Structures are given as C-alpha cells and as structure tokens.
Amino acid sequence: MTQTSSEPTTPFAKDTEPHLNKWGPYRITRDEVTETAIRRFCEVAEDGNPVYWDGDYAKSTRFGRLIAPPQSLFSMTFGAWWTPGYLQQQTDEAAAALNPPGTELAGQGGVHAVCDEYGYTINTVAGQEVEYIEPFGPGDGRLKMRSMTTHVSEEKTVRVGKGIFITSVTEYRTEVGDRLIGRSTMVLLRYKAI
C-alpha cells in the first residue's frame, strides 16, 4: 500500500481527524462550589491556607471573600458519584439549555470512542497546564466547562505498553456572572498494556 505524507497516514489518524478542533458541549456541575467541598479538597494535600478556610480572615484580604484553591478546578468539576434520576434530568436540562443543537457530537467524546475501538482503554494524564484567570468560590454557583481535542499523536511505544497522546483544551466558567475563571491544556495518554 502506498501513502502520501500530506494526509492521515494510519487508519487511526484518519478516524480521529474529523473530531479535532471542535468545541464540545458545555457541561455543568451538579453542585455549587461550597465551603465543604473546598475543605475536603484542602484535606488531600493538607493545605491550611486561611483564604480557603477562614471566611473572616479571607474578607480582610484582597480577595474580599473565602475562595476555593484555584488548583481545585478539576476536582470541583469532576462528575458526581451518584445522582437520583430526577435530579440528573434537571442537570442535563440545564446543560442542554447552554448548547446549540448538534454540539453533542463534537468535543472529546469522538476521539475517545475511536481510542476505545482501537483498544487504547487505559487512561493516564501525561501532562497538563492550567491558567487560573480569576478567583472563584462559594457564591459563584455551579461551574460550566467545555472542551476540544486539538491534537492526537501517532501510535507510540511507551513505558507501560503502546499508546496515543491526546491533547485537549478546556474552558471553565462560573454559573453566576458567566465569568471565565480558568483554561487548561491536557495531554492524556491512552494505552494498552503489552
């Protein structure tokens, strides 16, 4: 079989190409950013920063209020563990209202489905960069986010097997005031163990 270098050179590249550089739908978290969620995140790395713990102290700082650790953005937007059906429906409706019809198929879902098809089913984050644009905290409501895949590597041999590096960008906004609070670029390795 002959191939030219200007077009996708493998079936994998060909199958992922249509899914690149398109914003996926907005998702919205089930829960608002709360003091309790902040404290549970701070317990993980034992972070005692008083602007995350002490509302009175935080008011006296330049932030003017209790804030979440900016680095908790991923945890605060992680999918809930269990939700009753009627509430899930409300959350889905809230997200649907943010999206024009048709965006459901764009974004990261397509690339990940292709990876599953090719057997690259194990995920690990290989690297990431996050930019924290504004502080956020209790009072900002829930958080909204949307992502797009910007690059997919060739199939590579890595320390744990054979895999694909996927680069994606995600934007984060507050529900109250619709403020852009963060932007992240993530490189995810999806692999199969050999």
Partner 1 sequence: MTAPTEFTTLSWDDVKEGDELQSLTFPISMRTLMIDVAGTRDLYPIHHDREFAKGNGARDIFVNTMFYEGLFGRIATDWAGPESFLRKLRFSMKGPNCLGDTMVSRGWVTKKHEQDGQKLLDVEIHLDNQIERDATIANVTIELPS
Q: Minimum CB separation from partner 1 for residue 161, in Å?
A: 6
Token digits of residue 23: 């914003």
DSSP secondary structure letters along 83-139:
--HHHHHHHHHHHHTTS-TTGGGSTHHHHHHHHHHTT--EEEEEEEEEEE-S---TT
Q: Which is nearer to partner 1, 17 or 155 (CB)?
A: 155
Query: Looking only at residues 117 through 136 of this chain, which bind partner 1 when binding is defined by CB under 8 A?
Result: 122-132, 135
Q: Residue 79 corresponds to which amino acid?
A: G
Query: Looking only at residues 81 through 120 of this chain, which bind partner 1 when binding is defined by CB under 8 A?
Result: 81
Token digits of residue 155: 């199939």
Our CA angle for 154, 160, 163, nearest 5°, is 20
Q: Which is nearer to partner 1, 23 or 132 (CB)?
A: 132
Q: Which is nearer to partner 1, 15 or 140 (CB)?
A: 140
Q: Which is nearer to partner 1, 21 or 61 (CB)?
A: 61
Q: Which residues bind partner 1 (CB under 8 A)?
A: 40-51, 54-57, 60-63, 69-72, 74-75, 78-81, 122-132, 135, 159-161, 193
